[in-house]
Amino acid sequence: MSEHYPMSRRQFVAGASGALLAGAGAAAAEKKAGGQTSGLAIEGGPKAVTKTPSGQPRWGEPELKQLEAMLRQGSLFYWEGPQTKLLIERFQQVCPRKYVQTCSSGTAALHIAVAAAGIGPGDEVITSPVTDIGTVIGVLYQQAVPVFADLGAGTYNLDVADVERRITPKTKAIIAVHLTGNPCDLDALKALADRHKLILIEDCAQAWGAKYRGRPIGTVGHFACFSLQNSKHVTCGDGGVVASNDDRFGPLLQKFGDKGGDRRKWGGFDAFATNYRMSEPQAAVAAAQLTRLEAIAAKRARLGNLLTEKIADLPGIIPHQVHPDDRAVYWFYMFRMKPEAFRCNRSQFVKAVLAEGAPITGGYIKVPLYGEPVFQKHAFFAGRWPVKEMGLTTMDFSKHKCPEAEAILATGMRVPIYEYMTEEYILSVAEAIRKVARHYAA
């Protein structure tokens, strides 16, 4: 898997940026001028990163104020609760959609979207194999079938041509995961969805504050799903938001998040759903957190783009590829190495960068989702998969393949990006990567 790298030099240059070719020459000259590359820290040389900014508290006065107001309320239930209302209002400033439902997680938001879209037994939903498993949990619970499509080599997002190849008469929806907060090619995906009458669901869990061609993330698809889990840009510990502008689906969000019932006329259950409610304490914290979002998103965008600027000219390095008109909000940054361009493997590369003082990690999730044991064994429900037993699908995850996704996980390296980091620090991280890349250049 790790030695396989299917992208040609020409595709790489075309796919990433024109500056790369020119930059490659510059880096080679730099190596020559210096004669010997400077000593790597792993070999006893000085570290590239000498100062690491420390984390800052992610919550404080605004959250306390909101929590205090919440505790003076007579009810902590979401329905018509003032904290939930405030959260929805503030959410609509970030993602202007007509219908918004708060819920207990990003996984819940995605499940509500899939259920509200009417996706059911044997229906196919095309999505990314490199994502949080929460992207497909709702699909499987609705007895639908996730179909994994391959990814762009530098964007790590759905490859629209491969999505198209995987469309069958059973396909009902596409879940576009904006991985790391880098927007998918939404116009292309929406056009494809429209052409085949498919629902487009945006998984914005890692993309709070991102912009696609200037438009807020979550405003192109039929549904937008966000997570407020602790590791995301903004949080209330756990939580989620699902939104839609579509008059067919929007009115269904509440009932698919709340036991299948319409709270305005409780009873007469005409739909079946679980309880995915968010409470007022969570909404209070989340509402306060949203006042911090723009600063967080803008800062992360700046730091991630700066890192690209400083490593894009390195031969054999594929930087995180972001469209120049988009705002990526870097839940993390990921670059790749072309294995044939280096005299070391990824794990040696990572070790050397770590020794320089930059906290990088190899890969992201261990294997593409279809490689996980529960998929390989089709063991979703007490060891069984009813839709397969009933002949509603012939899917065999043990034969599923997404070569680029596998190559991304085998050659990608993750750099943490946080809003409290300084540009100076990112420059030193870039220098750590440069030192190591130059030293091991083949």
The catalytic residues are 232
What SS3 class is residue 45?
Answer: coil
Strand (E) or helix (H) holding 90: helix 82-94
Dist CA 182 CA 204 (whole Å): 10
Mask for 295-334, x = binds ligand PLP (CB under 6 A): ----------------------------------------
Rounded to an integer, what distance in angstroms lies between the CA atom of residue 67 and that of residue 283?
Answer: 9
Write down the least CB distance from residue 127 to ligand PLP, Å: 10
Residue 57, burial from CB neighbour count under 10 angstroms (0-12, 13-18, 19+): exposed
Q: Which is nearer to ligand PLP, 349 or 375 (CB)?
A: 375
Question: Segment 112-171, which members bind ligand PLP (CB under 6 A)?
Answer: 131-132, 134-135
> Is residue 221 involved in binding ligand PLP (CB under 6 A)?
no
Tracing tokens 């992360």 back to the chain, one arrives at 300
> Min. distance of Cβ 415 from ligand PLP in angstroms?
17
Residue of 17, 107, 235, 244 that binds ligand PLP (CB under 6 A): 107
Closer to ligand PLP by Cβ: residue 24 or 175: 175
Query: 326, 301 in Cβ contact below 8 A?
Result: no
Task: Find the binder of ligand PLP among 203, 326, 404, 419 (CB under 6 A).
Answer: 203
DSSP 394: -
Burial code (b: 16+ CB inside 10 Å, e: under 16) for 333-372 equals bbbbbbbebbebbbeebbebbbbbbbebebbbeebbbbbe
CB of 110 to ligand PLP, least distance (A): 6
| Residue 107 vs 155, nearer CB to ligand PLP | 107
Report the Cα 361 to chain-centroid distance in Å: 17
Assess 369 for contact with ligand PLP (CB under 6 A). no
Q: Taking a C-beta distance cutoff of 8 angstroms, is the pair 99, 230 a contact? A: no
**E strand segments, 27-170:** 99-103, 124-127, 145-148
Regarding 417 and contact with ligand PLP (CB under 6 A), the answer is no
> If DSSP states are collapsed to H, E and C, what string results for 149-187?
CCECCCCCCECHHHHHHCCCCCEEEEEEECHHHCCCCHH
* Count of residues near ligand PLP by CB under 6 A: 14
Q: What's the min distance (Å) between Cβ of 107 and ligand PLP?
A: 3
Binding ligand PLP by CB under 6 A: which of 181, 240, 304, 315? 240
Q: Which of 103, 113, 167, 205 binds ligand PLP (CB under 6 A)?
A: 205
Per CB under 6 A, which region of 28-36, 102-110, 191-199, 359-367 contacts ligand PLP? 102-110
How many CB atoms are closer than 10 A to CB 85? 15
The kind and range of the H/E element at 216 are: strand 215-216
Under the binding rule (CB under 6 A), the answer on residue 101 touching ligand PLP is: no
- In terms of CB distance, is 81 or 240 closer to ligand PLP? 240
Chain contacts with ligand PLP (rule: CB under 6 A): 105-107, 131-132, 134-135, 177, 203, 205-206, 227, 229, 240
